[in-house]
C-alpha cells in the first residue's frame, strides 16, 4: 500500500477540517491536533472549517464533520471516541470529551507522550506518516479521578490524561462530572451547632445518649429526612450544572443506635442498612424534579459491609472506601485479618468480600481508594505492584467510578508521585492496559540515564514488602520493616548510583534529587523518634531542599512548619498538637 503522509519533503500533505457549526470541544481538539503536528514537523498544518461542501481528501476530519466521510458520529458516548481511516483520510469522532481524547490518542500513536504538565515527549519527525487506524474506545469507568497536584493544578493536563472527576475542567475542555457537595455532608445538612440544643433527637444516640460532638444523623427521624430533602433540592437548584450530590456520613464513627436505627441495622446485618433506607427516600423525593441527578453516599468504616436486603435505588451511587485495607498486597490476595470491619452482630468482613457484596445490588458503585501515606506524604509507599490488580478487581465487580485519593498537597510531593499519577490515570481509562510499557516509557524519558536505578529501587522496595509479608496502611508511621536502617542503606546506595548516572543532565539530576527526599525524610524521622538523634544541620538542610523543590505539606493536615516542630519535639505527627486533626485548617500558598 502506498504511504499516506501528514507532512513529507518539506510540505504538509493533509488538512485538518472541522464543521462550520463545530462545538467548542471540537474546535479545541482540532487546534490541539494542529499545535502538536506543527511541533512534530516544524511546519504549518492547515486547519479549516467546511459547511455544506463535500470533503476534498486527504483530511483529518475532527468531530461531527467526520460524518461527511461516512463515519457514524451520533452514537458515541460522552467519553467515547473513534479513529477511522477512510481512503487517504482519517476521521476522529467522539462525544463531548471523547473527541478531545481521540485527538490525544492519535497523537500518542504518533509517538507523543504526556507524562506530566511540565514533561511531554514530542518526537521530531519532518516526514510524518498517517497511520491506518480502525478502532473505537469506551472507558471502563464513567467517573475517573485522582487528586495529584499535576491534575488539580493543571486541568488541561487532566484532560490529556482522561480524568473527568471534580478537577475544575472548563467546558471547552469537555467539562467534568461535578459534585454539588462532595463528601461527609451530614454536618453540612444539619449542623449540631445550629440544631442540637432545640432538637437533640436529630442526632446520633450512642450508649443511650444523644451526642453533640462528632455526631452523625438519626436516620429514622422523619424531620431529618424532610430537612435533608429540602436542602438537597435547594442545592441542586443552585447548581444545575452538577449531576452528583453527596448525602453521606461525617468523617468519624458514632452512628445512631436509637431503637429504630438499630432495628434496621440488625435486620440488614450492617450499619449501612439504615443509611441506604434513608438515602433511597431522599433519592425518591428528588428524582421527579432532578431525573438526571445521582445521590451519592458512602460505604465507609462502619457502613462498609453491604446490607442483606435493601438495595440502592437506580439514582443512588454507593461509594465504597478501602481505608482499612493493606496497600502492599492486592485486595484479592491480602491475608491480614486485622483489617476487617465489624458488623452489628460482631462478625467481620474484609474489603474484597464487601466489594463483591455491594456489586450484587444497585446500578452504580463507585470506589474511594488510597495511593499514598497520609500521615506523611514523603515515605516510600510500596503499592506499585497492586495498582493494576486492584483496579482490575474494581472493573470485575461492576464498579462504574473510582477516586484514587493521592497526595493532595498544593506543592505536590515525592515518592515518585509523577510516575504513580501517570500510571493511575492509564489504569482509570483501561484497567487491562500494558502497565509495564507505560512505566518503562515514563522512567526512560523522565529519569534518563537514572531510569534503571529507579527501576531497581522500586523492585527492592516492593520485594521487601512481599517477601516478608509486610502489611501497609494508609496512615502508618515510618517504623516499618521496609523502612528500617538496613533497607534505607540499600535505597541510598541505589540513589547514589542514580545521581551519578545523571551528573551531566541537570534536569534529570533535579528529578532524582527530589525523589531521594523520600529516603532522607524517613532517616530524619526514624532517627528522631526511634533513636533520639536530631542533627540540626541535616534537618535544616532537608527542609531547605524541600522548599527549594516547591514542595509544601509533608503531613496531610498540618503545615511543614508544624511538621518541623513535631520532629524537633519528638512527636510522630503535627496533628498531635490539636484536639481534632483538621484544626490547623486548609493549606495556603
Residue 106 contacts residue 33 (beta carbons within 8 Å): yes
The helix/strand/coil state of 153 is coil
Q: What is the pLDDT of residue 362?
A: 82
Name the residue range of residue 202's domain: 179-308
The helix/strand/coil state of 76 is coil
Residue 269 contacts residue 308 (beta carbons within 8 Å): yes
pLDDT in tens, 351-390: 999 999 999 988 899 999 999 999 999 999 999 999 999 9
- 584 falls within a domain: no
Residue 588 has pLDDT above 80, yes or no: no
Q: What is the pLDDT of residue 363?
A: 87
- 439 falls within a domain: no
Q: Are residues 132 and 193 in the same domain?
A: no
pLDDT in tens, 211-234: 999 999 999 999 999 999 999 999
Q: What is the pLDDT of residue 78?
A: 96
Alpha-carbon distance of 102 to 82, in angstroms, equals 7
Q: Are residues 48 and 131 in the same domain?
A: yes
Q: Residues 383-410, buried b or exposed e (16+ Cβ, 10 A)?
A: bbbbbbebbbbbbebebbbbbbbbbbbe
Q: Are residues 195 and 84 in the same domain?
A: no
Half-sphere exposure (CA, 13 Å, Cβ side) for 527? 14
Alpha-carbon distance of 136 to 114, in angstroms, equals 21
pLDDT > 90 fraction of the chain, expressed in percent and rounded: 94
Q: What is the pLDDT of residue 579?
A: 92
Q: Are residues 489 and 570 in the same domain?
A: yes
pLDDT in tens, 38-73: 999 999 999 999 988 888 889 999 999 999 999 988
Residue 254 has pLDDT above 60, yes or no: yes
Q: Are residues 100 and 202 in the same domain?
A: no
Q: Are residues 300 and 207 in the same domain?
A: yes
pLDDT in tens, 479-488: 999 999 999 9
Q: How confident is the model at residue 589 (pLDDT cuts 50, 70, 90)?
A: low
Q: Are residues 59 and 111 in the same domain?
A: yes
Strands of the sheet containing 11-12, edge to edge, are 11-12, 5-8, 128-129
Q: What is the pLDDT of residue 1?
A: 55
Residue 83: name the closest of 22, 136, 5, 28 by CA: 136
- The packing angle between helices 272-286 and 222-238, to 10°, is 50
- 367 falls within a domain: no
For residue 438, count other CB atoms closer than 10 A to its CB.
18
Residue 35 has pLDDT above 70, yes or no: yes
Question: Max Cα separation, the chain?
Answer: 83
Total count of residues recorded for the chain = 589
Average pLDDT over residues 96-102: 97
Name the burial class of residue 318, with classes exposed (0-12), middle (13-18) and buried (19+) by CB atoms within 10 angstroms of its CB. Answer: buried
| End position of a domain, from candidates 308, 339, 366 | 308
Q: Residues 59-89, buried b or exposed e (16+ Cβ, 10 A)?
A: bbbbbbbbebbebebeebeebbbbbbebeeb
Phi, psi of 139 (to 5 degrees): -70, 145
* Count of domains forming the chain: 3
Contacts for 359 with CB less than 8 Å, ≥ 6 apart: 365, 397, 398, 399
- 361 falls within a domain: no
Q: Are residues 132 and 186 in the same domain?
A: no
- 422 falls within a domain: no
Q: What is the pLDDT of residue 561?
A: 96
Q: What is the pLDDT of residue 53?
A: 87
- 397 falls within a domain: no
Q: What is the pLDDT of residue 260?
A: 98
89's grid cell: 483520510
Q: Are residues 531 and 463 in the same domain?
A: yes
- The packing angle between helices 435-447 and 506-526, to 10°, is 100
pLDDT in tens, 73-91: 888 999 999 999 999 999 9
For residue 536, count other CB atoms closer than 10 A to its CB.
8
User: From residue 250, how far is each of 123, 246, 270, 438, 582 by CA, in Å?
Assistant: 49, 11, 17, 38, 13
pLDDT in tens, 302-341: 999 999 999 999 999 999 999 999 999 999 999 999 999 9
Alpha-carbon 454 to chain mean position: 23
Q: How confident is the model at residue 467 (pLDDT cuts 50, 70, 90)?
A: very high
87's grid cell: 481512503
Q: Are residues 96 and 220 in the same domain?
A: no
Mean pLDDT of the chain: 96
Residue 441: name the closest of 455, 431, 457, 430 by CA: 455
Residue 340 contacts residue 306 (beta carbons within 8 Å): no
Q: Are residues 214 and 299 in the same domain?
A: yes
Q: Residues 209-242, buried b or exposed e (16+ Cβ, 10 A)?
A: ebbeeebbbbbbbeebbebbbebbbebbeeeeeb
Residues facing 135 on adjacent strands: 83
Q: Are residues 458 and 551 in the same domain?
A: yes
In sign, the C-alpha dihedral spanning 150, 155, 157, 161 is positive
Q: What is the pLDDT of residue 165?
A: 93
pLDDT in tens, 153-196: 999 999 999 999 999 999 999 999 999 999 999 999 999 999 99
- 119 falls within a domain: yes
| End position of a domain, from candidates 106, 138, 170 | 138
Question: Which is higher by pLDDT, 70 or 101?
Answer: 101
Average pLDDT over residues 451-479: 97
Residue 344 contacts residue 379 (beta carbons within 8 Å): no
Residue 24 has pLDDT above 80, yes or no: yes
- 62 falls within a domain: yes
pLDDT > 70 fraction of the chain, expressed in percent and rounded: 100
| End position of a domain, from candidates 308, 339, 367 | 308
Amino acid at each position: 500500500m502506498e504511504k499516506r503522509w501528514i507532512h513529507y519533503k518539506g510540505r504538509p500533505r493533509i488538512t485538518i477540517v472541522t464543521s462550520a457549526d463545530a462545538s467548542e470541544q471540537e474546535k479545541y481538539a482540532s487546534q490541539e491536533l494542529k499545535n502538536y503536528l506543527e511541533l512534530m514537523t516544524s511546519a504549518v498544518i492547515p486547519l479549516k472549517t467546511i459547511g455544506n461542501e463535500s470533503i476534498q481528501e486527504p483530511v483529518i476530519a475532527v468531530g461531527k464533520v467526520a460524518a461527511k466521510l461516512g463515519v457514524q458520529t451520533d452514537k458515541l458516548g460522552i467519553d467515547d471516541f473513534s479513529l477511522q481511516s477512510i481512503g487517504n483520510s482519517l476521521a476522529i469522532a467522539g462525544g463531548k470529551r471523547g473527541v478531545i481524547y481521540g485527538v490525544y490518542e492519535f497523537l500518542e500513536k504518533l509517538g507523543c507522550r504526556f507524562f506530566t504538565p511540565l514533561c511531554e515527549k514530542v518526537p521530531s519527525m519532518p516526514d510524518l506518516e498517517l497511520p491506518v487506524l480502525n478502532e473505537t474506545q469506551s472507558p471502563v469507568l464513567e467517573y475517573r479521578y485522582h487528586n495529584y497536584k499535576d491534575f488539580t493544578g493543571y486541568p488541561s493536563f487532566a484532560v490529556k490524561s482522561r480524568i473527568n472527576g471534580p478537577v475544575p475542567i472548563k467546558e471547552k475542555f469537555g467539562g467534568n462530572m461535578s459534585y454539588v457537595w462532595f463528601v461527609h455532608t451530614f454536618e453540612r445538612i444539619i449542623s449540631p451547632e445550629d440544631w442540637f440544643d432545640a432538637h437533640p433527637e436529630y442526632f446520633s444516640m450512642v450508649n443511650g445518649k444523644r451526642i453533640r460532638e462528632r455526631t452523625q444523623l438519626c436516620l429514622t427521624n422523619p424531620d431529618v429526612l424532610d430537612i435533608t430533602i429540602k436542602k438537597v433540592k435547594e442545592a441542586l437548584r443552585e447548581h444545575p450544572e452538577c449531576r452528583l450530590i453527596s448525602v453521606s456520613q461525617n468523617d468519624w464513627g458514632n452512628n445512631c443506635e436509637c431503637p429504630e436505627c438499630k432495628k434496621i441495622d440488625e435486620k440488614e446485618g450492617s450499619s449501612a442498612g439504615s443509611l441506604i433506607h434513608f438515602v433511597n427516600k431522599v433519592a425518591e423525593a428528588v428524582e421527579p424534579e432532578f431525573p438526571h441527578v445521582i445521590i451519592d453516599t458512602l460505604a465507609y468504616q462502619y457502613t462498609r459491609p453491604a446490607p442483606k436486603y435493601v438495595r440502592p435505588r437506580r439514582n443512588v451511587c454507593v461509594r465504597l472506601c478501602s481505608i482499612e485495607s493493606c496497600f502492599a498486597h492486592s485486595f484479592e490476595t491480602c491475608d491480614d485479618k486485622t483489617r476487617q470491619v465489624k458488623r452489628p452482630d460482631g462478625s467481620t468482613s474484609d474489603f474484597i468480600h464487601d466489594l463483591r457484596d455491594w456489586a450484587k445490588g444497585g446500578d452504580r458503585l463507585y470506589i474511594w481508594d488510597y495511593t499514598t501515606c497520609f500521615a506523611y506524604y514523603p515515605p516510600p509507599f510500596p503499592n506499585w505492584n497492586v495498582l493494576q490488580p486492584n483496579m482490575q478487581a474494581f472493573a470485575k465487580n461492576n464498579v462504574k467510578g473510582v477516586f484514587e485519593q493521592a497526595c493532595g498537597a498544593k506543592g505536590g510531593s515525592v515518592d515518585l508521585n509523577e510516575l504513580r499519577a501517570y500510571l493511575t490515570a492509564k489504569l482509570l481509562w483501561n484497567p487491562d492496559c500494558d502497565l509495564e510499557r507505560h512505566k518503562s516509557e515514563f522512567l526512560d524519558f523522565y529519569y534518563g540515564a537514572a531510569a534503571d536505578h529507579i527501576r531497581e529501587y522500586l523492585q527492592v522496595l516492593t520485594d521487601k514488602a512481599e517477601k516478608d509479608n509486610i502489611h501497609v496502611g494508609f496512615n502508618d508511621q515510618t517504623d516499618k520493616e521496609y523502612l528500617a536502617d538496613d533497607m534505607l542503606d540499600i535505597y541510598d546506595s541505589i540513589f547514589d548510583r542514580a545521581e551519578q548516572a545523571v551528573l551531566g543532565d541537570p534536569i534529570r539530576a533535579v528529578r532524582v534529587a527530589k525523589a531521594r527526599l523520600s529516603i532522607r525524610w524517613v532517616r530524619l524521622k526514624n532517627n528522631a523518634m526511634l533513636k533520639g538523634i536530631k542533627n540540626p544541620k541535616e534537618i535544616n538542610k532537608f527542609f531547605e531542599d524541600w522548599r527549594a523543590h516547591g514542595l509544601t505539606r509533608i503531613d496531610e493536615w498540618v503545615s511543614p512548619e508544624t511538621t518541623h516542630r513535631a520532629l524537633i519535639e519528638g512527636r510522630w505527627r503535627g496533628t498531635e498538637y490539636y484536639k481534632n486533626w483538621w484544626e490547623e485548617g486548609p493549606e495556603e500558598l
